[in-house]
Amino acid sequence: MSDTFTGVVESRHDRVLHLSIDNPTQRNALKPETSRAMARALRLAASDDRVGAIVISGTGAHFCAGGDVSTLFSSRRENPPQHHFERVGALNEFIRSIRSCPKPVIAAVEGHAAGAGMSLALACDMLVAADNAQFTLAYVKIGLNPDGGGSLFLARGVPPQLAAELAMTGAPCPATRFAQLGVVNRLVPVGQALTEALALAAQLAAGATQAMARIKRELEAAHTHSIEQQLEMERGLFVEALHGAEAGEGLGAFLEKRKPQFSRT
């Protein structure tokens, strides 16, 4: 399903939802209405039992070029700060919807993931990239600093010295280097990122998705929890899971020496 007004193309592949940013003439630069539409689709998917995993990509040769920089100069002269607070707020809504979604969200990156596009890619739970893809956080080159959580996700994902270099110089980082650091989960030939991401998403969607939702909560909390807080969270979620339908199916399949059928639970 395509929505030309919002710049989002949505399609279903069994239990996988594919959301594509559809603005190829501007390398899929994000508009506020696109960010809001993406956030809305992710919120709907979060409560849709028919969706087990989500893939985000860009239409054409590139993932996302971030915001529309060409309009920023005139916009800063013509609009008050509140206008720009609201524009960045739309991006933040998109990023929050990825992190709060209980389903695995996978980025399929071809070409460039720049600015907010890099923030978006790093916000996803997993990342599949073409071997020639480039990740760039070049805000500093026009006198700006990252938004969309780019500084947070970069600082979490790479050594501090590399995070400082990428953010302070605006130099591109090739997908091959991110793959060596474990930031990219799958490195594939050009043109194959979406295919591989959909295959990975299908694998996840066939698994214990409620357990994955709890795992996502645990991993997110681990960044701020003390060891005692994390242990207590894990204990509560473990007992909750143990008495749930997925554990019943998983344990039963283990004892019966068969493959579990989690999608039926």
Confidence category of residue 118, pLDDT binned at 50, 70, 90: very high
Same domain for 115 and 158? yes
- Indicate the range of 2-6, 7-11, 83-87, 164-168 predicted with least confidence: 2-6
**What is 186-233 written as a DSSP string?**
EEE-TT-HHHHHHHHHHHHHTS-HHHHHHHHHHHHHTTT--HHHHHHH
Q: From 205, 232, 255, give the residue that closes a domain.
A: 205
- pLDDT (tens digit per residue) in 29-68: 999 999 999 999 999 999 999 999 999 999 999 999 998 7
Strand order in the sheet with 112-114: 112-114, 134-136, 173-174
Mean pLDDT of 252-260: 96
Same domain for 156 and 45? yes
Range of the domain at 9: 2-205
Q: From 205, 225, 253, give the residue that closes a domain.
A: 205
- pLDDT (tens digit per residue) in 178-224: 999 999 999 999 999 999 999 999 999 999 999 999 999 999 999 99
Same domain for 88 and 45? yes
